[in-house]
Amino acid sequence: TYALSNSCSHGVKISCVFYVYRVGKAALDSVNLKGHSFLTLKDFNAEEIKHILWVSADLKHRIKHRGEYVPLLQGKSIAMIFEKRSTRTRMSTETGFSLLGGHPCFLTPQDIHLGVNESTTDTARVLSGLADVVLARVYSHSSLEHLDIDASIPIINGLSDLYHPIQVLADLLTLQEHYGSLKGLTLAWIGDGNNVLHSFMMSLAKLGVNLKVATPKGYEPDANVTQEAQLLSKQFGTKLQFLMDPMETARDSSVLVTDTWVSMGQEEEKKKRLKDFLGYQITMQTGSVAAPDWTFLHCLPRKAEEVDDEVFYSPRSLVFTEAENRKWTIMGLMVCILTDYTPQIPKLKF
């Protein structure tokens, strides 16, 4: 043990110490995400996604249920760039980072405007010397890719036009908690082919979850993402279906999911979008053809035309647990990419 500790002070990763001091199943976990950026779930395999969820569940158990103080990020700081307004992403990141002993720094477009007052390259390099990690909520996914190229610290996608991976982490943890396992579930997406759907498409097959998608004509998911999702479905032996009929999509599905029909930046299209999405509202009638134990998810904010009150406020709705899990999963992700922490609870069943 002493020899390993000496080695660690000369460049070997501290994870070596955990392997010495921790025995049993947890010590056998070989996933190491320290220093990794998190731009899309496309870049993460099944075991890495499961590991993030395991760490998230562990932190939730230790901090929420056992009342422990777990300052794993003490002395660390996060720069939070927000080109778009936010409730859940900002609150979950600020409160979560603080709860772990770190210091969050919130930057609005008035504080930092990527590529305008200062080049994105220069911003990435400056922040790399001032913070330990950057979370950016941006319009264009290319902004994140540019930051990641020039930064020497991890970059987290807080939302982009193409992906919203931290939302899907929360959804996956919520479903794992509710059903006890993810494998074999069928998720029905009924709505717009947007960034949240894209993140589901890049992750569900890896976890053994089937996906059915219903979008109005003209609102299908990105063609490149679809092509990659089809390859993943074939590789992992799951079902992936694209339909236009919401009822057929809901049939025998375990989870009904929708999202806003009018995202930020699409306000001028609102009238047309509401017309095009007629018939896509999720109601108890939609649920009548789903699996007997069906549940409902929505990443919020929600409008009544997307899902009626009867479903949204029903016991089948997991939306508020889902919203809370935004905090635990962003905490789990940050711990994974900034530390060598090994969870104390048994591995989750997937």
Peptide bond into 301 cis (omega under 30): yes
CA distance 136 to 118: 16
DSSP annotation string for 155-214: EEEEE-SS--HHHHHHHHHHHHHHHS--TT-EEEEES---HHHHHHHTTTGGGT-EEEEE
Q: Which two tokens stand for residue 343?
A: 């969870």
CA distance 332 to 54: 8
**Contact residues for 150 (Cβ-Cβ < 8 A; gap 6+):** 120, 121, 124, 125
Q: Which two tokens stand for residue 187?
A: 């998720």
Q: Which of 16, 105, 299, 336 is catalytic?
A: 299
Q: Which two tokens stand for residue 50?
A: 């499961």
Contact status, residue 274 vs residue 268, Cβ threshold 8 Å: no
Contact status, residue 311 vs residue 110, Cβ threshold 8 Å: no
Residue 336 a catalytic site member: no
**Contact residues for 300 (Cβ-Cβ < 8 A; gap 6+):** 87, 88, 319, 323
| Residues counted in the chain | 350
Contact status, residue 167 vs residue 56, Cβ threshold 8 Å: no
For residues 238-275, b (16+ Cβ closer than 10 Å) or e, as one string? bebebbeebeebbbebbbbbbbbbbbeeeeeeeeebee
Contact status, residue 201 vs residue 173, Cβ threshold 8 Å: no
Known catalytic residues? 299
